[in-house]
Structure 1
Amino acid sequence: MSESTFPTTASGQREILFNAFDMNCVAHQSPGLWRHPEDKSRTYNTLGYWTNLAQTLERGLFDGLFIADVLGPYDVYGNSDEATLKAGTQVPTNDPILVVPPMAAVTENLTFGVTAGTAYEHPYSFARRLATLDHLTEGRVGWNVVTGYLPSAARNFGHDDQMEHDERYNHADEYLDVVYKLLEGSWEDDAVVEDRENGVFIDPTKVHRIEHEGKYFKTPGIAFTEPSKQRTPVIYQAGASTRGRAFAGKHAEAVFINPPTPDLIKATTTKLRQAAVEAGRDPYDIRIMSMQTIVTGATDEEAQAKYEELASYTDVEGGLVLMSGWMGIDLSQFDLDEPLGDVESNAIQSTIETFKKASGDDENPWTVRRIAEWCGVGGFGPVIIGSGETVARRLAEIQDETDIDGFNLAYHITPGTFEDIVEYVVPELQKLGRYKTEYREGTMRNKLFGKGDHLPENHYGSRFALRNRQLVG
């Protein structure tokens, strides 16, 4: 493994990447903490919330802001949306894409990963929105590809239920083919000539129809946008099931994972890097970001006291609402002290797999109560509590133990979580030589890999680029 396969700091040590994890809603991962007097997530529907957050993150040299999304309420728990409405668990939720341009306008280097599903919007219109966002951010955007997991979203788009889990990925594979063809294979780089003397703005011979006709989509025409800086924005993905890993190996340039223990993080990371190899790529062509929540302060004691105060605001039923949606299981039907046992799900299968593998021993199984308590501060991911120095050393240890590239940092309160990380953790990571002291120039893709703006030649999507002359149906 060469040093060039992952980012290094000026001291030559492996760099830890940071994403902030947020959602255009109230109390994203910590149900109940919207009640905390210092939490500002209630102002999610204002421009000021997002622009202030972006400036805070850029001051802390965060690599990106990762914005989650769902298209329906969490109504698996109790077979109703009553509990999720009461708890405000990811409802109401606004569009994640619309908040990015104002944040880009007040920052220079922060990148933005936006979540958008493949199930309910046609790739032709979505490719235009994605390209527009890449234009407006000057190439600082990535697309988190999701296939969907909430039955409520399927029903509200006129379906009885979602497609079966693996079929959703088959559908998404073709969806990406259409997006690649539009963004990579329709317009030549110099198609826009702006010939004022002859009155020709675009050379028609340099704009090509994609003529796509597949199982799910028929798109014959040209892309409706000219090429943006990255052409195809960075492809992000969050599925860690067996089928999800195969999808990641083929498409993903960055992956968000959320195992709760270092052993499981390492196992997932190893499988993802192997999936990249099986797709003909380098194992480090994928940047892997593990979900993490940090509670920090000036001292370990201060951080512990802060955690205990935060935990007093948690909403147990709200946690079970979220977990029911993620797992595809109505947890209201179980006794609180009942073990999870063997279940099957058509939702996020990696969530089920993770809990089975992390169940511990027979004396400490994953009961419904334990799941609820786990979700209280920080949602599904693990929590580190301590001073900036303690947290920094633990983050470095986790990276060394698991081979991840960085962390997707969920908040307990916002923007306080991120302000604390910038104040206490970032300087300590820099002292360890594990965190950047300045940004790399360029687009999101170049910041992540340092190899230019466009999809590399060994990426599946590059076969659709005009330079490779492989525009095939």
Structure 2
Amino acid sequence: MTREIRLNAFHMNAPGHSWPGLWAHPRDASARHDTPEYWTQLARIAERGKLDAVFLADVIGVYDVYGGIPDAAFRAGAQAPTLDPFPVVPLMAAVTEHLGFGVTATLSYERPYLLARRFSTLDHLTRGRMAWNIVTGILDSGAKGAGQAGLGAHDERYAAAEEYLEVVYALWEGSWADDALVQDREARQYIRPDRVRRISHRGAHYDLDAIHLVHPTPQRTPLLFQAGASAAGRNFAGGHAEAVFINGHTRPLVAETVRDLRRRAVARGRQADDVRVFLGASIIVAPTDAEARDRHAEYERWIDYPGSLALLSGWSGIDLSRYGLDEPIRHVTGNAMQSLIEAITTRSPERAWTVRDLAHFGQAGGRGAFLVGSPTTVADELQRWVEEADLDGFNLTRLVFPEGLEAVVDLLVPELQSRGVFKTQYAPGPLRQKLFGAPRLPDRHPAARHRAFGPDR
């Protein structure tokens, strides 16, 4: 059976995302990310192409690992300034009907009670199209900005995340019955008090004694995304995530990660296909292979390499300014993206990457699939990745916007549709229903333990 390929547009409320410098390209609109029109244009293009969601990255803090200062990131606009991703969702939802919205929220700096309300509010306003990309933070500067002494130990952050999820599950799944909101004008009763429950939690990291502030939404719990492929991250994803965003430079290494994610889901009482896995991908598609190669060369001239190294230093926790261009990067144990450190050192298929490798506008620098070619060429490669690595889809990294996404929608999507591997119409219902066939989490998910009012109506 041919597997349907799913695509998300991977963006950020910042001028530079994964490829710093492209904001300066004369045809790029990313410098207008602080305007409503930028986001409504993005949403309309994505829905026209039947993409599943706009996946919004976010980071708390500034990239000051490279050289110990943020100057390279600032000059390049490399994820700086970084505006809040949440407020742009209603702008996009207002001009679309089906497109989902995955928003990154760092639980290390958000109180569960308030974050639960924010997601519930947006799930109502989008009619059930919200997803939460669960992260624990990667930048020491962000932890200090949030009033902490510094970024906590990597595995301890995931231990706290386990408890955090239990708290928000209790609020989303167990605080209100589906029939609690009656809005009976004749009886002048809005809520049935007997169908609302107070949640009490006392734990190692969080205390809560509260009633959830929002009545049940179309999904109750937003679709759960997670981005992290370290051992602790994969274990967390196996227990909780419905969709996992990973990176990887080769199909065998990605396949190994996917197998482990699905194995961990089964080990925690779930099914292997309860988890959808998305690989990061940078795609340059044009009518012919030659035109795509020309566009790649054109884009490359605008890449800001110090800005790219500032991002990579922040993601890895390794100050790359201390390395020579051709010096192999050594493995270190740190609190940032352990999976990235492993990918460029111990899990590298041939040799450890050098700074020159990582700065290159290509496969190594992209951390995931980097595909350049005609619709036929790119579609062939996407199908090869899906088949050999057991992937469900791809998060498409922003390059030059809007032309990069428009090329995917107008050239690549029709090619995939002609092969029967991409939808021609959206499925009905909320985001989870589009991906899994039902709007609410299944009973085997750990969130279901917190349901206090019987089956959903």
TM-score where L is the length of structure 2: 0.97
State yes or no: 1:441 paired with 2:446.
no
Partner of 1:169: 158
State the shift of 1:354 in Å. Answer: 1.2
* 1:245 maps to 2:245: no
Q: Is the 8 A contact 1:145 1:237 kept in 2?
A: yes
Counterpart of 1:429? 416
Provide the rounded CA distance (Å) in 1 between the counterparts of 2:18 and 2:210: 41
Aligned match for 1:113, one of 96, 102, 118:
102
Q: Summarize the alignment of residues 69-88 of structure 1 with structure 2, pairs less than 5 Å apart.
A: 69-88=58-77
Q: Which runs of 5+ in 1 are unaligned?
A: 1-11
CA distance in 2, matches of 1:206, 1:268: 43
Structure 2 residue 407 is the aligned partner of structure 1 residue 420 = yes
Counterpart amino acid of 2:162?
D
Q: 1:285 aligns to what?
A: 274
Which amino acid is the alignment partner of residue 48 of structure 1? E
2:149 paired residue number? 160
Which of 301, 322, 329 is the matching residue for 1:340? Answer: 329
Q: How far does residue 211 in structure 1 lie from its aligned partner after superposition?
A: 1.0
After TM superposition, the structure 1 stretch with the greater mean CA deviation from structure 2, 252-261 or 338-347, is 338-347
Give the Å deviation of 1:102: 1.3
1:456 has 2:431 as partner: no
Taking the aligned partners of 2:186 and 2:68, their CA distance within structure 1 comes to 66
Query: Shift in Å at residue 303 of structure 1?
Result: 0.3
> Could you tell me how far 1:358 is from its partner in structure 2?
4.8
Q: Equivalent residue of 1:101, what SS? A: helix
Opposite residue 309 of structure 2, the aligned amino acid is L
Instruction: Give the Cα separation in 2 of the matches to 1:375 and 1:27.
Output: 17
The amino acid that maps onto 1:186 is: S
Match of 2:20 in 1: 31
- Report the CA distance shift for 1:227/1:411 in structure 2 as closer, same or farther (over 3 A): same
Deviation at 1:197, TM superposition (A): 2.7
**Which residue does the alignment assign to 1:194?**
183
1:382 Cα offset (Å): 2.7
Is 1:407 matched with 2:399? no
Aligned partner of 1:137: which letter? Answer: T
- In the alignment, the residues of structure 2 paired with residue 390 and residue 107 of structure 1 have an alpha-carbon distance, to the nearest angstrom, of 30
Is the alpha carbon distance of 1:69 and 1:466 closer, same or farther for their aligned partners in structure 2, counting shifts above 3 Å?
same
Decide whether the 8 Å contact of 1:57 with 1:422 is kept in 2.
yes
Match of 1:3 in 2: none
- Asked whether the equivalents of residues 363 and 369 of structure 2 are also in contact (C-alpha less than 8 Å), the reply is no
CA distance in 1, matches of 2:208, 2:330: 45
Q: How does 1:163-242 map onto structure 2 within 5 Å? A: 163-242=152-231
Tell me which residue corresponds to 1:258: 247
Secondary structure, in 3 states, of the residue corresponding to 1:439? coil
Cα distance, 1:271–1:18 mapped onto 2, change above 3 Å: same
Deviations 1:306-360 (CA, angstroms, capped at 9, x unpaired): 1011111111111110100010011111111111122222101110111124534
Is 2:300–2:361's contact at 8 Å kept on the other side of the alignment?
Answer: no
Q: Is the 8 A contact 1:377 1:412 kept in 2?
A: no
The residue number in structure 1 matching 2:451 is 465
1:430–1:437 Cα contact (<8 Å) kept:
yes
For residues 238-267 of structure 1, the C-alpha deviation after alignment (integer angstroms, 9 at most, x for no partner) is 011000011001110000001111111111
Question: Is 1:100 aligned to 2:89, yes or no?
Answer: yes
Deviation, structure 1 residue 20: 0.6
- Distance of 1:367 and 1:260 partners within structure 2: 14
Q: Which runs of 5+ in 2 are unaligned?
A: none
Contact 1:378 1:412 in 2 (8 A): no
